[in-house]
Amino acid sequence: MSSTKASELMAVSLLLLAAALLASREVSAKCTAIGVGRNASFDGSVMLAHTDDAGDGTSDLRLVRVPSMDWPEGSKRPVYPVRNGYPRIVSASRGGEYAPRKNQVETEPLGFIPQVSHTYAYWDQDYGLMNEHQLAVAESTCGARTVAKPLGQDGGQALLDIGELSKIAMERCKTARCAIHLMGSLGVEHGFYAEAIREDSGEALILADALDELWVFHILPTPDGSSAVWAAQRVRDDHAVVIANDFVIQEMDLNDTDTFLFSDNMVDVAVAQGWHNSTTEETFNFFATFGFEKKKYDPVMGLYSGRRMWRVFSLINAEYSETADPYVGFTPSTCESYPFSLAPDEAISLEGLFAILSDHYEGTEFDLTRGLAAGPFGNPNRFEGHQKGTKRLPGGFERPISIYRGTFSFVTQSSSSLPDGVGVAWYGQDQPAGSVWVPVYASQTKVPAEFLWGKQSEFSRASTWWAFNFVNNWMQLGYNKMLGDVQDARAKAQAEIFSVHEKIVAVAKRVPVKSLASYILTRGSSKIITELTVSWWSLSEKLIAKFSNGLITTGEEPGMRVGQGYPNWWLKAVGYTAWPPGPGPAVVTA
Ligand SMILES: *[C@@H]1O[C@H](CO)[C@@H](O)[C@H](O)[C@H]1NC(C)=O
Ligand SMILES: *[C@@H]1O[C@H](CO)[C@@H](O)[C@H](O)[C@H]1NC(C)=O
Ligand SMILES: *[C@@H]1O[C@H](CO)[C@@H](O)[C@H](O)[C@H]1NC(C)=O
């Protein structure tokens, strides 16, 4: 084969590889995770925030309470494969909500690990969320230089994904350190896998606990796909951290075991791969060593993580927003571009985190409510990619924190100053920008039916998710026309929920009997969920009547149904002022 032929072939296969990577980018789930230390939060609690931004493929919408359980000696814990859509799993081993109904058959496990004698109760969705001891996690998928496949798939050898690891941590641990050591050692022993593409083949969690500690955990497969490499870094109490689909642990002081934890094989694996020179290097940079250089095949991807990190840090720290460069991106080769964590100017409140989760870069040069792509009514939603079956154009849109495919989001609060049962996950359905967050408590035993509708393929008026999803979609008919009404409704509902929450917690804290406190919290949260769902459907009906057919209708009197027209900048941009086209109206001659 001639060398030109060979290099042509090489070029073609590189292009195909790039095309495959680009195509896969459109289907992967991508999430943003934020952590806030106890001295950086408004009330001394450690807070986590997460947006769940599922991609193609449906998600099981249920927020499920897995009860605490006792297990006879010699029990095995089934480990299930990753599955999109409803039902996430069918298994009697995870309590009543997941137990088989009617025609359902139990999910086939990938394998088993030994069970412990007692497992804790926790809130579960695709990942564990918070357990009865206030251990909480927030997740973000990361690029990694290694990939692995699950057992049973093309010679795959790995048993555990991050979903199952996080759930096992919820079942067995009270603290972030316990969770990190447990998840890490299980990954090393049984193998860890994520997506089979490097862009998504690693995982990160932020963990918070009732010792008021905040930790970041990273895990990726070993190069042979049979084990795992992991590391963790404690976040300073007065700092906040953000993960936006890339590892954030950078320089590690391997002697500082109060701050850094890692697998025994970490340095050896890096040295064996030629990614690290143990003899010549004093320090170890986790992201530079194990992160995947996304920028190599697509310049846009270099900004996919960096832009959101820049935005979160800019929103909490004014000096940072003036000095940081939003254009460098965050990649293994531009590692130092963004810090691991940053101190906020002011203590971060719940409202502050909800606003960050709802962000579309409003007011910045990347503002998605502006420009031709936002249409005449400032719609910040950008569907991804190009039409299937057509040539992919180079380029992209900004990736906001609140994205059109956002399925749910939450903010958790864990604190040593609270009874464990009162730890709280503020849970918001559908895209954060249109969401209202309700408290779900660590010792609450169930949620009402409105939070247990599982299907995205079937509309239901009995579902909170569908109420919020409907309003978010209806807004797209005229986003900024409806924005004021929706923002007012959100603010009013959230304020009411805060005040009810305070009352519920005040009562629950005074009750000496744990089970009674749990009953009060369960009833209080359930009532909030049911009332919010009713009020959001009622908002949707008001919006339907008020904003149909491009008109705004506010009553039956004259002048109460009026057209809004289009803004002039948009009319000019779409050729309105160039009408009529061609040589002018035809002259009809007899
Ligand atoms: C952080 O908060 C704790 C109490 O919540 C306090 O004891 C400690 O001194 C604070 N640390 C700093 C650096 O402010
Ligand atoms: C770690 O500690 C050992 C012995 O205390 C010392 O020789 C070594 O230089 C230290 N390494 C780093 C990276 O600080
Ligand atoms: C290891 O050291 C060699 C020789 O100094 C250098 O060429 C190489 O780039 C280094 N590798 C890494 C991963 O730093």
pLDDT digits (tens, 9 = 90+) for 173-232: 999 999 999 999 999 999 999 987 888 999 999 999 999 999 999 999 999 999 999 999
Proximal ligand: closest to the CA of 237: 1
CA distance linking residue 189 with residue 552, whole number of Å: 62
Assigned token pair, 511 = 């009750």
How far apart (Å, rounded) are the C-alpha atoms in residues 270 and 278?
9
User: Which tokens in the block code for residue 331?
Assistant: 């990649």
**DSSP-H helix ranges across 409-513:** 464-475, 479-510
Give the pLDDT band of residue 7 (cuts 50, 70, 90).
Answer: very low
39 Cα–ligand 1 center, Å = 6
For residue 38, the CA-to-ligand 1 centroid distance in Å is 8
Regarding the beta carbon of 70 and ligand 2, being less than 6 Å apart is answered: no
Query: Whole-model pTM?
Result: 0.93
Rounded Cα gap, residues 309 and 302, in angstroms: 12
Query: Can you state the angle between helices 464-475 and 479-510, rounded to 10 degrees?
Result: 150
For the stretch 446-486, pLDDT in tens is 999 999 999 999 999 999 999 999 999 999 999 999 999 99
- Give, for 77, the enclosing helix (H) or strand (E): strand 76-79
For ligand 3, atom 7, the nearest C-alpha belongs to 277
Tell how far the Cα of 261 is from the centroid of ligand 2, in angstroms.
15
Judge whether 455 lies within some domain.
Answer: no
Mention every residue, 6+ apart, whose C-beta is less than 8 A from residue 98: 64, 66, 87, 88, 89, 90, 91, 92
- Angstrom CA distances, 188 to 5, 7, 270, stand at 43, 39, 15
Give phi and psi for 64, each to the nearest 5.
-110, 135
Return the residue whose CA atom lies nearest to atom 1 of ligand 2.
255
Q: Which of 139-148, 302-311, 554-563 bottoms out in mean pLDDT, i.e. has the lowest?
A: 302-311
Q: Compute, in angstroms, the gap from residue 255 CA to the centroid of ligand 2.
A: 6
Q: Are 330 and 301 in contact (CB under 8 A)?
A: no
Dist. CA 230 → ligand 2 center (Å)? 21
Whether residue 39 has its Cβ less than 6 Å from ligand 1: yes
Question: CB of 88 within 8 A of CB of 99?
Answer: no
Which H or E element spans position 414? strand 408-414
> Which whole number is the average pLDDT over 84-91?
96
Residue 31 CA from chain centroid, whole number: 3
Question: DSSP string spanning 348-375?
Answer: BPHHHHHHHHT-S-TTSTT-TTSSGGGT
Distance from the first to the final alpha carbon of the chain: 74
Which residue of 277, 283, 286 sits with most ligand 3 atoms within 8 Å of its CB, as the best mutation to test the pocket? 277
Mutation choice for ligand 3 from 278, 280, 293, CB with most ligand atoms inside 8 A = 280
- Tell whether 473 is covered by a domain: no
Atom of ligand 1 nearest to the CA of 44: 5
For residue 283, being part of any structural domain is answered with yes
pLDDT tens string 30-49: 799 999 999 999 999 999 99
Please check the confidence at residue 422 and state whether its pLDDT lies above 90. Answer: yes
Measuring from atom 6 of ligand 2, which residue has the nearest CA?
Answer: 255
**Residue 238, domain member (yes or no):** yes
Mean pLDDT on 352-361: 98
Ligand nearest to the CA of 281: 3
Which of 42, 237, 416 to mutate for ligand 1's pocket (most ligand atoms within 8 Å of CB)?
237
Instruction: Please state, in angstroms and rounded to a whole number, the distance separating the CA atoms of residues 52 and 301.
Output: 19
Q: Per-residue pLDDT for 152 more than 80? A: yes
User: pLDDT averaged over the chain?
Assistant: 92
CB-ligand 1 contact for 237 (6 Å cutoff): yes
Asked whether 257 lines ligand 2 (CB < 6 A), one says no
Q: Is the pLDDT of residue 530 over 70?
A: yes
Atom of ligand 2 lying closest to residue 254 CA? 13
Q: Tell me which of 56-60, 445-449, 487-491 is least confident.
A: 56-60
Torsional sign, CA 418, 205, 126, 27: positive
Distance from residue 290's CA to the centre of ligand 3 (Å):
15
Taking the CA of 280 as reference, the closest ligand is 3
Task: Kindly provide the b/e burial profile for residues 141-169, where b requires at least 16 CB atoms within 10 angstroms of the residue's own CB.
Answer: bbbbbbbbbbbeeeebbbbbbbbbbbbbb
Q: State how far the alpha carbon of 184 is from the alpha carbons of 14, 171, 196, 457, 547, in Å.
A: 34, 15, 20, 36, 52
Query: Is 554 a domain residue?
Result: no
Ligand 1 atom 9, closest CA:
39
Query: Nearest to residue 28, comparing CAs of 403, 392, 544, 580?
Result: 403
Ligand nearest to the CA of 43: 1
Q: In terms of DSSP H, where are the helices of 232-334?
A: 266-272, 286-290, 299-316, 318-323
Domain range holding 361? 35-382+397-406
CA 26 vs CA 29, 53, 384: distances in Å: 9, 12, 7
Query: Where do runs of H (alpha helix) occur along 139-251?
Result: 162-172, 176-190
562-569 long-range contacts (CB < 8 A, ≥24 apart) are 564/478, 564/481, 566/376, 567/376
pLDDT at residue 11, as a whole number: 43
Q: What is the CA(267)–ligand 2 centre distance, in A?
A: 14
Domain assignment present for residue 446? The answer is no
Nearest CA to ligand 3 atom 6: 277
Q: Is the peptide bond before 87 cis (omega within 30 degrees of 0)?
A: yes
- Provide the domain count of the chain: 1
Residue nearest ligand 1's atom 2 by CA: 39
Across residues 165-172, what is the average pLDDT? Answer: 98
Does any ligand 2 atom lie closer than 6 A to the CB of residue 154?
no
Is residue 282 in contact with ligand 2, taking CB distance under 6 Å? yes
* Placement of tokens 């109060």 in the chain: 258
Ligand 3 atom at minimum distance from 274 CA: 13
436 lies in some domain: no
Tokens of 431: 């895209």
| pLDDT (average), residues 503-526 | 96
| Residue 10: predicted pLDDT | 43
pLDDT at 24 over 80: no
Indicate whether 431 belongs to any domain. no
Length of the chain: 590
Ligand 2 within 6 A of CB of 23: no
- Ligand 2, atom 2, residue with closest C-alpha: 255
Please tell me the number of the ligand nearest to residue 284's CA: 2
